[in-house]
Chain A
Amino acid sequence: MPQGTERPLRVLLAKLGMDTHTVGITVIAHALREAGMEVIFTGLKQTPAMVATAAIQEDVDVVGVSSLSAGHTRSLPTLARLLREAGAGDKLLLVGGVIPEEDQPLLQEAGVDKIFTMGADTRDIITYLNEWRAAQQAGHS
């Protein structure tokens, strides 16, 4: 596909469960938009099923979950499974926030593609997303 007609990367940003810390996700939303991506925010208090449905309906490329309480060890594996079961396992699944190191292998095994912990640079996230996109396109062509 020629560069000019390429559609912007579509990213769904989500907050799961009762975790309502929004500063990180707000910063990411602004930064991704400034980098030319389309950002959709689910709103608060979502279940994994609600996020999976939104990801499919909105036809996003990337699902980014922000987690600052401790519920991630359960909710993220569920979300990854629901996406796979709905045939949307090819969407990039990211998580950011307070994710202790010892939880990371569990999340990766469950299907989380990449973990950004607190303090991650938005420019690194953008670079990661752009590289992932480029690799996807190389793979498809």
Chain B
Amino acid sequence: MKDKSSRAAMQSTRPAQQDDSIAVEAQRWQSDTRGPYVQAHPERRDEFVTQALQWSVNPLYTPADLEAVDFDYLQDLGFPGEYPYTRGTTPNGHRSDFWTMTQVTGFGKGLEWSKRARYMLDQGLSGLILEYDLATTNGYDSDDPLVEGEVGRAGMALDSLEDLEQAFDLPFDKLQYLMSVCNAPQPVNLAMIIAALEKKGVDPKDFVLHIVNGILIEYTCVGRYIYPPKDGLRLATDCIEYIIRHHPNWAPISIIAAQLQPAKANPVQEIAFSLTIACAYIDAVLERGLDIDTVAPYFHFVINVDMDFFEGICKLRAFRKCWARLMRERYGATRPEAMQIRMMTSPTTTALTLQQPLNNIGRLAIMATACALGGAGESMTTPLHDEAHSLPAEDAIRVGAALQHIVAHETGVAETIDPLAGSYYVETLTKQLETAAFAEMDTIFEMGGALKAIESGYFQRALGREQYERNRDIEQGKRKWVGVNHLQLEEEKRQIDIFRLDDSVEAEQVSKVQALRARRDQAAVDRALDEVRIAARNGDNMVPPCLQAVRAYATHGEICHAMRDVFGEHRTDSQLGGI
């Protein structure tokens, strides 16, 4: 009896004793061992900080640090595939399947896109990302004088259903996943894709169409918006609702935190801005009569990782946990799927340099490894090492695809689940990120949520400050960047090929859309465009009238203009970047 109770007493005090003794020992180590050493060998720099957050980094992390942030294994981590999903949303990490490996493509005319897409599928990629040119993403046809010089450059020119009919000349058996990157005119692009798949006879159940549909990020930092924020939010909500009700196997929304990061959002802002933005859409969709357990699993995030290895890894882990907590605590979600964040990860292009571009391959490999270590998500996309120079060349596409296979097959990082869990540093930083992100989310919710934060310019100003300060750190050498402010070469020889789009693409695209307008049934087009205006005014879901207009071969720009007639245009450009 006596033995038993004393053992119980010992057990109950043991963890605290252990931690105390570690803290005491750590102090002893500091004064006896490290202190004298550092005196003899002064440190490389005055302060060690993380790259984006500029948070102080300790020389050593021990269990005492976990104690300080109130770390609790079962509460903070639990097990993979279970709440709060810090260690992963699936129970087996990447031991059952690797992430889907994708790359961005899309430029020129539909036919050229199709050719490049085939090339990429042949390189072992199973998913494609379709980007549109800036004329399309801003809602103008190729022959609009405003977009002269941009047609087919930053992505594919999409003027009418005809363009997608040509672009979709693809082996759909190899293609498991297609992501369409478009925000402001999203109902129009969605309608075009649906109509093109119908024409090709592709069963929409056989693959996943994923539309980005993230207009609120455009107002925050990207700038490719058309209509005022509240109307933009309504159109996005229309697409989400339409897909959930008609194509439940598709993905109707992505929150591209990966656009906040290049706008220099730090990881806390990335988590807080993108999750509160997600809440703005969720609130709007819930108002349409859907419930949180149905809606939440449709949300998808694209998250970049920068060169600070641990900031990146911990950010991915914190993202998973913050989403799970938000869905359970704010919305009362009960389905596990509603609390499991879906994400695509990516090395960031902003870590890449124009100088000595081949060095970027090294950077991409390191960031891709960080993505894998943080739990890559369902898919990973790699930018290409020559992106700072120009639009990517074919050689770079091959290297970019190989890079993911190298990380997956050769490094061993995917052989066990969440391999860095339990690292004193990783767990401390993960927990600190979570705490700071929730504090920032509270601030945003208090000002009325993400839509209000955008309308008041709060997000934009916050990012503008970060942009200036991060750049200053590099110029002043506070952060060393190889090729930029460290190990620069005097005379740099060009080491890469540059992909060039023929200028004739624009001319051909212009005559193609004009020829289409001349031969189609104009009366049918006019009627369909009227229906678009009526639906816009009535607050109806915009996807069905857009689909009707697309089938009548109304052009992309015409449909966008019909909605401009009703919504007007957003013109507070100078808010961007807080300039």
Contact = CB atoms under 8 A, between A and B. Distances in A.
Given A20-B224, A26-B577, A100-B390, A71 B153 contact: yes
A27 B467 contact: yes
Contact of A73 (B147, B149, B264): B149
Nearest to B144: A18
Nearest to A73: B149
B3 to A, nearest CB: 68
24 contacts: A17-B146, A18-B146, A20-B222, A21-B223, A22-B577, A23-B262, A26-B464, A27-B467, A27-B468, A29-B577, A30-B467, A41-B579, A43-B573, A44-B576, A45-B138, A69-B134, A70-B150, A70-B153, A70-B154, A71-B153, A74-B148, A98-B388, A119-B388, A122-B471
Given A70-B149, A74-B149, 8 more contacts: A17-B149, A18-B134, A18-B140, A20-B223, A22-B221, A23-B577, A71-B148, A100-B390
B436 interface: no
A47 interface: yes
A27 B263 CA distance: 11
Nearest to A39: B579
Contacts of B147: 17-18
Given A45-B573, A69-B150, A119-B355, A26 B578 contact: yes
Nearest to B576: A22
A71 B475 contact: no
Contacts of B577: 22-23, 25-26, 29
B388 A18 contact: no
A19 interface: yes
A117 B494 CA distance: 14
B498 interface: yes
A26 B573 contact: no
Nearest to A74: B149
Interface string B121-158: 00000000000011101101000011111100110000
Contacts of A123: 475
A45 B574 contact: no
A119 B353 contact: yes
A86 B137 CA distance: 33
Contacts of B224: 18, 20
B573 A44 contact: yes
B93 to A, nearest CB: 35
Interface of B: 133-135, 137-138, 140, 145-150, 153-154, 221-224, 262-264, 353-355, 388-391, 464, 467-468, 471-472, 475, 484, 494, 498, 501, 571, 573-574, 576-579
Interface in A43-84: 43-45, 47, 69-71, 73-75
A98 B388 CA distance: 7
A69 B154 contact: yes
Contacts of A98: 388-390
B149 A47 contact: no
B501 A70 contact: yes
B579 A26 contact: yes
A19 B222 CA distance: 10
A9 interface: no
A85 interface: no
A104 to B, nearest CB: 13
B385 to A, nearest CB: 14
Contacts of A134: none
Contacts of B222: 20
Contacts of B223: 20-22, 44
Contacts of B389: 98, 100
A101 interface: yes
Interface string A82-124: 0000000000000000101110000000000000011101110
A17 B464 CA distance: 22
Contacts of A13: 579
B468 A70 contact: no
Given A98-B388, A117-B354, A17 B221 contact: no
A17 B388 contact: no
A37 interface: no
Contact of A45 (B146, B264, B354, B472): B146
A22 to B, nearest CB: 5
